[in-house]
Structure 1
């Protein structure tokens, strides 16, 4: 997406039309549009010729092509493609590149903060007809995503959870106690913030369903909001729509208990188990 937008910027700066760019690489103008929108892979011969057409200096061409080759490499999640729906692979990609992840979860602990046993219990309920091997693969993918938290360039994560998330028994009391302990450990990470909306808070503006907000360290990438359903997902990137979600997150964070209270609340809930 970043390189596609950079190609568009270079084309427009050079005053080259879609039709002229298409003639340079002997394709249709639609193909050039799709390259710029990251709807197709970056074929190196095409990219090289486009950069020459746009008058990019040779040294910069080499740097750009190196980035294009890197972008064409499958992500680490490719080996899990047998249990990774196409509509969710984009989520994993966004998650891996985000600098900020804010989210609202009314049902379950976010995947990045789940324990193995909690994740396995959810997978068994969500995919009752799958084999143990496939369930194990799904759990392995979810836990592999958590490697992100240990990286020096890990994103800032700000999660707003309903109290029901921690009261809903997933896998039994022992699994829930371990899951609450995991959340306490996550609070020790410098870039993780967790807030809890108590049951007595009442109505709030986000009570339509879970959603995740991503911000990136690239000016070419817009903020993106992810929402999920039983049959797929929607990725929202129009600024006017994204701002609506962001404002809701801000209002919910005010209604939720302060971050300083999270450990105490987790302790209270753990004692009840």
Structure 2
């Protein structure tokens, strides 16, 4: 099967416990009664794991009961179709991957130098971004993309913590015109007030930082102590990083850019100043 974010997370966690036990994939497969090739696919997220096999794996690896409950929940979710699959005919693989990453996240940290992040965009602002990037898209598909983006934002009312760091250019460039930007900035202040959202602005006067010229999303899930993935999207390509060394480099980048950003209260003050300039 095509690996999903959930199946890869489950496989990665099982692989970590296997390595900690000192067992090889072959040894473990023999003890739980499956082929080594099947176990290899489970660890890579390319094969489903049945409840019975998961139970035997938990027993052999002495996985704590609390963690076993989390793994079983993840196993069930890995089989569930995501709501975003209703949009499969218009979704690129990159956008589908990002939505899968967001679906179970407990904390998202994102850096955007020039635009407001998608989770904070108003419909009018998002429409201008989408139409500018895809000028030949059908009007009906644009409407569905906008609907999709608005549905993604529901995660903010479901307990998702969001830390969004943006360049000053993002809050000043009049995408859609002054009225659209003004409403976009008002929307940011409302979201910060109503949800677990922090916005920090990197002013034009800031020095160089490790995220300069880049944009990325760091995803962290509940009950998992380390961020498990970094999503990086560009004009022509996208990547999901899951290796510890790469993730650490992006953690350094987000710390570097935050050291140059205004504090949350000062950032909101700047946003209010821009709103006044747009009157």
Question: What TM-score does the superposition give when structure 1 sets the normalisation length?
Answer: 0.84
**1:16/1:54 contact within 8 Å kept:** no
Structure 1 residue runs without a partner (length 5+): none
In the alignment, which residue of structure 2 is the partner of 1:140? 147
In the alignment, which residue of structure 2 is the partner of 1:98? 105
Pair 1:241–1:48, CA change in 2 (3 A): same
The equivalent position to 1:184 in structure 2, one of 189, 197, 208, is: 189
CA apart distance, 1:161? 0.8
1:123-164 per-residue CA deviation (whole Å, 9 max, x = no partner) reads 11111111001111111111100000111xx22211111110
- Measure the CA separation in 1 of the matches of 2:168 and 2:91: 29
- Measure the CA separation in 2 of the matches of 1:11 and 1:200: 49
In the alignment, which residue of structure 2 is the partner of 1:18? 26
| Match status 1:257 vs 2:265 | no
Alignment of 1:1-273 (within 5 A): 1-5=8-12, 7-8=14-15, 13=21, 15=23, 17-18=25-26, 21=29, 29-38=36-45, 40-42=46-48, 44=50, 48-49=52-53, 51-52=55-56, 68-151=75-158, 154-219=159-224, 222-273=227-278
CA apart distance, 1:34? 1.6
Pair 1:14–1:139, CA change in 2 (3 A): same
CA apart distance, 1:9? 6.0
Pair 1:74–1:232, CA change in 2 (3 A): farther
Pair 1:123–1:190, CA change in 2 (3 A): closer
1:237-262 per-residue CA deviation (whole Å, 9 max, x = no partner) reads 22222122212211221211111112
- Measure the CA separation in 2 of the matches of 1:73 and 1:266: 40
Runs of 4+ off more than 4 Å: 9-17, 22-27, 49-57, 62-67
**2:38/2:47 contact within 8 Å kept:** no
Structure 2 residue runs without a partner (length 5+): 1-7
Instruction: Give the secondary-structure state (helix, strand or coil) at the position aligned to 2:144.
Output: helix
CA apart distance, 1:234? 1.1
**2:25/2:40 contact within 8 Å kept:** no
Pair 1:261–1:33, CA change in 2 (3 A): same
1:7-49 per-residue CA deviation (whole Å, 9 max, x = no partner) reads 446766595742772797775x3332121121x24153xx535
**CA-atom RMSD in angstroms:** 2.9
Question: What TM-score does the superposition give when structure 2 sets the normalisation length?
Answer: 0.82
**1:105/1:160 contact within 8 Å kept:** yes
